[in-house]
Amino acid sequence: MRIVLLGAPGSGKGTQAGLLKAELNIPHISTGDLLRAAVKAGTPLGLKAKAVMDAGQLVSDEIVLGMLEERLSQPDARAGFILDGYPRNLAQCEALQKLLDRLGQPVDVALQLVVPNELIVERLAGRAAAENRKDDTPETVRERLRVYAEQTAPVAGYYERQGRLSVLDGVGEMREVQQRILSALPRRAA
Ligand code: ADP
């Protein structure tokens, strides 16, 4: 099963991807995690990405695509994957489609987690306290939400036009949201 998880920062993509990974036994591929690992390792790519991430803006499509391509070519991704944080704009949608067509592994479903903005701001403030992420400061959160609305929100429409989008309520208990996701997966008894 090849799943794209969509939703604003703080909508619970990472949490849900972790639960789904255990349930479906496929890897959780987060471009945010891949980028943070590159920053931590101090690779040239990581050094380039750091300032952009700290400002709440998008790292260049080229850098992220290269990283993603490398990750998707690892053997565990052949069984399927849960993609989190990608695609984040329409150019990335096209790039992903091209890449997956080439691999013969098209996206099965795009799941969009919808959470009201007030709750998002609250959740991210909590995460800032708990995880000490540099991009969870109030100004950067505002910028990330702006970038989301401007560049990432149209991604849902891209999958909707392909008839592959499921829009889900992301508010509620973690397990409750997970049940909604499992029920929305194609070819699977709910
Ligand atoms: P969130 O979804 O909570 O904003 P992520 O961990 O997905 O957090 O991403 C953190 C940052 O990493 C983003 O603000 C952006 O700078 C960078 N990033 C992650 N994925 C992408 C992507 N697909 N394209 C460009 N930049 C990305």
Per-residue pLDDT tens over the stretch 109-162: 999 999 999 999 999 988 888 888 888 888 899 999 999 999 999 999 999 999
- All residue ranges of the chain with pLDDT < 70 are 188-190
Radius of gyration for the chain, computed over Cα atoms and rounded to the nearest angstrom: 16
**pLDDT of the residue at 143:** 93
**pLDDT of the residue at 190:** 41
CA distance 87 to 96: 7
Beta bridge partners of 29: 83
Half-sphere exposure of 129 (CA within 13 A, CB side): 5
Strands (E), the chain: 2-6, 28-30, 81-84, 109-114, 165-169
Q: Which atom of ligand 1 is nearest to the CA of 57?
A: 16
Helices 31-41 and 44-54 cross at an angle (nearest 10°) of: 120
**Is 161 annotated in the active site?**
no
**pLDDT of the residue at 189:** 42
Residues with CB under 6 A from ligand 1: 9-10, 31-32, 35, 52-53, 56-59, 64, 85-86, 88, 92, 135, 144
User: 48-66 b/e with 16+ CB inside 10 Å = b?
Assistant: ebbeebeebebbebebbbe
Question: Which member of 13, 50, 71, 123 is catalytic?
Answer: 13
Q: What is the pTM of this model?
A: 0.92
**Is 48 annotated in the active site?**
no
**pLDDT of the residue at 188:** 52
Every domain of the chain and the residues it spans: 2-27+81-184, 31-73
As a CATH number, domain 2-27+81-184 is 3.40.50.300
